[in-house]
Amino acid sequence: MAMQTTSDNQSGEPIMDINTTPLIDVLLVLLIMFIITIPIQTHAVKLDLPQSDGSPPPPVDPIKNKIVITAAGALLWNGVAVNTQQLRQYLDISQQMDPLPELHLQPEPTARYEVVDQVLAITKQARVEKMGFVGNEQYANF
């Protein structure tokens, strides 16, 4: 069992190779710190929902508007097909009524989330105050 003491450097000069292990360690630590500090990218539509102040709820308004989003991406306003511009006009008109009518949003289970998100953004822009999601029981089997 002998130890090898010879190397390629026969002249006795110091070895000029850089030890890259500490450099790699520092870079990995910096990379992990960078990944941790990146904010989480989420796509959300912020919707201000009414807060209960302890008073009894207002009486049920007989005027209810229903938006249905079909699996094909069609928008139905009270059963009539509309586009996004017409939807915004109907929402603006309904928000000027007194008392405010309720808005019921019912996307079909296979409707694309992109269309639902677009409708939620339109309702947010129209400042809809009374809004509810109906038909959630149909998602129980999905």
DSSP string spanning 5-46?
Answer: ---S--S-PPP-----HHHHHHHHHHHHHHHHHSPP------
pLDDT at 136: 72
Angle between helical axes of 84-95 and 113-125 (0-180°, round to 10): 40
pLDDT at 131: 87
User: 115 in a domain, yes or no?
Assistant: yes
Domain that holds residue 85: 64-139
Bridge-based pairing of strands 131-133 and 102-107 is: parallel
Binning pLDDT at 50, 70 and 90, where does residue 61 land? Answer: very low
Across 49-53, average pLDDT: 66
Q: How many domains does the chain have?
A: 1
Binning pLDDT at 50, 70 and 90, where does residue 60 land? Answer: very low
pTM above 0.75, yes or no: no
The Cβ-side half-sphere exposure at 101, using a 13 Å CA radius, reads: 18
> Could you read off the pLDDT of 70-118 as tens digits, one per residue?
999 899 988 888 888 888 888 888 888 878 888 889 998 888 989 999 9
Hey, what are 75's tokens? 């928008």
pLDDT at 58: 45
User: 18 in a domain, yes or no?
Assistant: no
Distance (Å, whole) CA 104 – CA 79? 12
Length of the chain: 142
User: 22 in a domain, yes or no?
Assistant: no
User: 79 in a domain, yes or no?
Assistant: yes
User: 34 in a domain, yes or no?
Assistant: no
Across 115-136, average pLDDT: 88
User: 69 in a domain, yes or no?
Assistant: yes
> Could you read off the pLDDT of 1-34 as tens digits, one per residue?
455 555 566 777 777 788 888 999 999 999 999 8
Tell me the pLDDT of the chain averaged across its residues. 80
Across 36-61, average pLDDT: 66
Hey, what are 91's tokens? 């929402």
